[in-house]
Structure formats: structure tokens, C-alpha cells
Amino acid sequence: MPAILELERKVVFKEGRIVTDIIRSTENGQPLSGFRTIIFFEDIEYIDFESSKKEAELHLSLFFGFQNSSINIFLSKFLGEIWLFKELVGRNIKLPINPEPDYNENSVYINYAHAPIDVSNIKIIRISDNKLIAEITMIFLGKYEESFQNLSTVKLIKLDILTNR
């Protein structure tokens, strides 16, 4: 199985955003309140099996449920939605991974094969200049279709906070 040399170094955050959202649970159909993030990375350049230079596009779409306190829900109605995000600071949020219910399905296509990506954890560090700064822990499952060795990495990201107002 080929190895994508220095894949961790090539996974470079480009831009992202976070917004409040509601989805329906795949487990029981009930609405889940939480946050939706879209994260874009620079294209990953690599050399394929035929020694040709290729690029893989990488972006992640993540949802994580979070029950805000009634005080922050109240404050957000009068002082702005940013209060819903402030409660996340300092939290370490474990995300469901495949095959757990409500997992986030993401992947990348490298070496003519599909490689699922599990994002297992988001650690919210701070909010600064209307950006939420966080660390994400993700695992590239390259062995899924034998395209490259599995890789686990932690990346620092800055997400623009979007409000629904």
C-alpha cells in the first residue's frame, strides 16, 4: 500500500465558518440543536500510482449537538446570537464516528480511492474578532480502500462566526 508522504503537513487549513443549526437525528428523527461547521483546506498535492502530480480537494462539513443554557438562549434573543457561541469556549466536544448514530460523513479521494475522514473531537479554545478558534482531531482512513496508510492529526482552525440574523 503506498504512503502519502508528509500528508499531515499537506493538510493546511484555509478557511471555515460556524453557524447555529437544527438537524433531525438519524437515530430517532427528533430535532437536534447545535452548530454546523464548514471547513476548507488547501488542496492536497500528491504523486499518484503512475507518478503523475495530482490534487485532492478537502473540505469537512460537521454538525455537533450542544444544549445551551437557558440563560444564554435568553441573552442571545436580546443581545445577539454570539452568546450561544460563548458557552462553547473551554469545551472539549466528542463527535460520533462511523458507525455511531448521527456521525459526520466526510471523505477525500486520493490515489483513485475513497478515504473516509472521521473527526472525533473539537476542542473550543476561544473566540476572538468574531472567529471561533478550535482544534479538531481527525483520522484519514486510507486503508479503507488501500490508498494510503491511516493518518491521525490535530489541526488548529479559525471559524468565522455567522449569525442567522
Mean pLDDT within 109-121: 92
* pLDDT value at residue 154: 95
Q: Is residue 146's pLDDT more than 90?
A: no
* pLDDT value at residue 131: 96
* pLDDT value at residue 60: 97
CA 48 from chain centre, in angstroms, equals 26
Smallest Cα–Cα separation from 2: which of 150, 152, 151, 149?
149
Mean pLDDT within 71-84: 73
Binned at pLDDT 50, 70 and 90, residue 1 comes out as low
Mean pLDDT within 144-160: 91
Domain boundaries, the chain: 7-161
pTM of the predicted model as reported, rounded to 2 decimal places: 0.87
Binned at pLDDT 50, 70 and 90, residue 153 comes out as very high
